[in-house]
Amino acid sequence: MNYQHAFHAGNFADVHKHTVLARILVYLRQKPAAFRVIDSHAGAGRYDLLAAEASRSGEWGEGIARVWEAVQADAKVGELLADYLGVIAACNPRGNLRTYPGSPLIAQKMLRLQDRLIACEIEPRAAANLAGVLRGDHRAKALAIDGWTAIGAYVPPKERRGLVLVDPPFEDATDFTYMSETLAAAHRKWPTGIYMFWYPIKTREGPDALARRLRRHGIAQILRCEITLRPPRADAGLAGSGLILVNPPFTLEQDLQLMLPALLRILAPQAGQASGRIDWLAPNL
């Protein structure tokens, strides 16, 4: 699977991962101590939903566009999504949905003065765009470096608080293997950090093998969160979106129990086979 993000910006998977990202950042901001976000596969940072790539796929119309229109109907979910939607609103000051922020821009918008962001991207065009998006902000640094290498190089951060976000392009199935091995190595160096790993669900083979490998590593406090809009099939497109969350904020599971059903109602209003899953791969100690 070659996940070129410009074609998929703002789709249901982005909504899933970025709503969870925003909730984690809200939690980190509750304490005055500084934190750092390490975004290993940051992408371009900002996406034009009316550009050729996003227009050709049109996936954002069934993702952020639906949430943008529908979230006002549920006050509690609206409260949980307020920071996420606030960033999107800031990127679209005229009120018309045209620009979608990638994960580094969402993180940047939610940093405080004392917090820091390292955003890594190796693809030259995306890296150049990312540098432009973050230019002029002393809190944020864009690095043209391989994301898998960056995790080993920048963990643990000097703040000793923060989040490692891993959202690779999944150009081949080996990214599932890289995930488990990279997480295990990073966790040994920084066992108290929060880790958020995203993966696509096209078939169950890769995600289920990832879960088995993570269990074997013996890492505690691994929460899995998935949404699936249709039955996974090898001959079909992206069916679902998955997150592995290590050391998640203690409030996050409860937030997800509220958010996921609401997101599924919005993102798949006529898909009777849509489903969500929140479970612990390793115990919540």
pLDDT in tens, 113-167: 999 999 999 999 999 999 999 999 999 999 999 999 999 999 999 999 999 999 9
Which range marks the domain in which residue 247 is found?
5-282
Rounded to whole angstroms, the maximal C-alpha distance in the chain is: 50
CA 154 to chain CA centroid, Å, is: 19
Catalytic residue among 83, 115, 167, 175: 167
- What would the mean pLDDT of 249-264 be, rounded to a whole number? 94
**Residue 1 pLDDT greater than 50, yes or no:** no
Residue 284 banded pLDDT, cuts 50, 70, 90: low
Count of domains in the chain? 1
Q: What share of the chain is helix, strand, coil (3-state, %, to 5)?
A: 45, 20, 35
> Per-residue pLDDT tens for 52-103?
776 667 889 989 999 988 776 677 778 889 999 999 999 999 888 999 999 9
Please tell me the predicted confidence (pLDDT) of residue 209: 94
Residues in contact with 173: Cβ distance below 8 Å, sequence separation at least 6, in sequence order: 206
Does the pLDDT of residue 218 top 50, yes or no?
yes
Whole-model pTM?
0.94
- Torsions phi, psi of 192, nearest 5? -95, -5
Q: How far apart are CA 103 and CA 167, in angstroms?
A: 9
Residue 165's nearest CA partner among 251, 104, 122, 249 is: 104
Report the chain's mean pLDDT, rounded to a whole number: 91
Cα atoms in the Cβ-side hemisphere of radius 13 Å centred on 130? 32
146 in catalytic set = no
Given a contact cutoff of 8 angstroms between Cβ atoms, the answer to whether 143 and 134 are in contact is: no
CATH of the domain at 199: 3.40.50.150
